[in-house]
Amino acid sequence: MKATAMAPSNIAFIKYWGKVDEGLRLPANGSLSVNLSGLTTKTTVEFSERYQKDEVLINNKIDSKKTERVIKHLDLIRKKAGIKKKAKVVSVNNFPMAAGLASSASGFAALTLAGSKAAGLNLPEKELSILARIGSGSACRSIPPGFVEWMEGGDETSFAKTIFPANYWDIAIITVIVSTGEKTTGSTLGMELAKTSPFFKTRLSLIKQKLEKIKKIIKEKKFCEFGKLVEEEALELHAIMLTSKPSLIYWTPKTLEIMRFTHMMRKEKLEVYFTIDAGPHIYLICPNKDKEKVIDKLKSIKEIEIIVNEPANGAKLIQDHLF
Ligand code: PMV
């Protein structure tokens, strides 16, 4: 059978950084994110006797490292479904992968949904989220819709669920791509290094409080408090990265330029805050009504590209197959 799924990427307000189990990708802490409307992956999977081996095409390219990780995931799906057939997988992102934007979240969420359906499984959201998590941690957060929390826990209890629907809060998330094609240290290696930071233990000891605080702030829609906490959290994540041994420096001069520019926009009374993942790009968050003003201000900055997002739904099956 053949199935196609579309899944959004997501951006974490409280970040996942560090694991307690490598293989199962169990996080050292809970995290919270929102799905992004402008960054999506579409994936078609077909299991058939016709295929002698698994064929994987991502953005029209064959990449042996990516293929290996996809096959590992297909093996998990085959085991769950009790089938042995090989598969063809075709996947495309609607954003440039070379830009170094995280694509594993949307990629593994789409692969999990399309793959399990194509294998004849009809998994509930929780099971899909657990399976996506094993493929790539943050992918579990791209399964449910809207604002999502991923709980820490064991294999059966660490999954993501919606805490507020996508239309709960009218905010905009502007992805600012500051460089292209740059290779950075992947999150798997980066997370292994987290425990070498002298500040990691402190971060973990305070993170539950932070999660409770942000949920309350989102519930009450207090944008200014929300933005401050999100920005503090991104800087804390990068403090762990910067103080890991060896040190991980994801920022470029352009990243710093946009960080300072964000502070300047705030001085000019625009409520806009940033967050940053394991890369040089920046995500600016503002009330949706101020989006145009922020976009207009960004026009003065050279050599950047922007993608405008709003909170989005999670992974879904679609009829429009890629082959
Ligand atoms: O799931 P991964 O391996 O792509 O790791 C994601 C790590 C961060 O993006 C830095 C934080 C997060 O919670 O998304």
What are 23-37's pLDDT values in tens digits?
999 999 999 999 999
Cβ atoms within 10 Å, residue 89? 26
Contact yes or no for 103/93 (Cβ under 8 A): yes
CA of 313 from ligand 1 middle (Å) equals 19
The pLDDT of 42-47, averaged and rounded, is 98
Whether 101 has a pLDDT exceeding 70, the answer reads: yes
The pLDDT of 209-236, averaged and rounded, is 98
Which atom of ligand 1 is the closest one to the Cα of 187?
A: 3
pLDDT, tens digit, for every residue of 182-204?
677 889 999 999 999 999 999 99
Whether 275 has a pLDDT exceeding 70, the answer reads: yes
pLDDT, tens digit, for every residue of 312-323?
999 999 999 999
Instruction: Give the whole-number percent of the chain exceeding pLDDT 90.
Output: 94
User: What whole-number distance in Å separates Cα of residue 262 and Cα of residue 266?
Assistant: 6
The pLDDT of 293-309, averaged and rounded, is 96
Is the minimum distance from the CB of 31 to ligand 1 under 6 angstroms?
Answer: yes
User: What whole-number distance in Å separates Cα of residue 301 and Cα of residue 63?
Assistant: 34
Token digits of residue 241: 């990265």
- What is the pLDDT, as a whole number, of residue 102? 64
Residue nearest to atom 8 of ligand 1 (CA): 277
pTM of this prediction? 0.97
User: What whole-number distance in Å separates Cα of residue 222 and Cα of residue 271?
Assistant: 11
Is the minimum distance from the CB of 14 to ligand 1 under 6 angstroms?
Answer: no
Question: What Å distances lie between residue 172 and 100, 151, 293, CA to CA?
Answer: 21, 25, 12
CA of 300 from ligand 1 middle (Å) equals 30
Which atom of ligand 1 is the closest one to the Cα of 139?
A: 1
Whether 98 has a pLDDT exceeding 90, the answer reads: no
Whether 214 has a pLDDT exceeding 90, the answer reads: yes
The pLDDT of 235-250, averaged and rounded, is 97
Instruction: Give the whole-number percent of the chain exceeding pLDDT 70.
Output: 97
The pLDDT of 206-217, averaged and rounded, is 98
Token digits of residue 80: 């769950």
CA of 12 from ligand 1 middle (Å) equals 8
Among residues 101, 104, 152, 158, which one has the least CA distance to residue 131? 158
CA of 230 from ligand 1 middle (Å) equals 15
Contact yes or no for 56/23 (Cβ under 8 A): no
Q: What is the mean pLDDT of the chain?
A: 96
Backbone angles phi, psi at 36, to 5 degrees: -110, 125
- What is the pLDDT, as a whole number, of residue 95? 81
Q: Rounded to the nearest 5 degrees, what angle is found at the Cα of 109, between the Cα atoms of 75 and 190?
A: 85
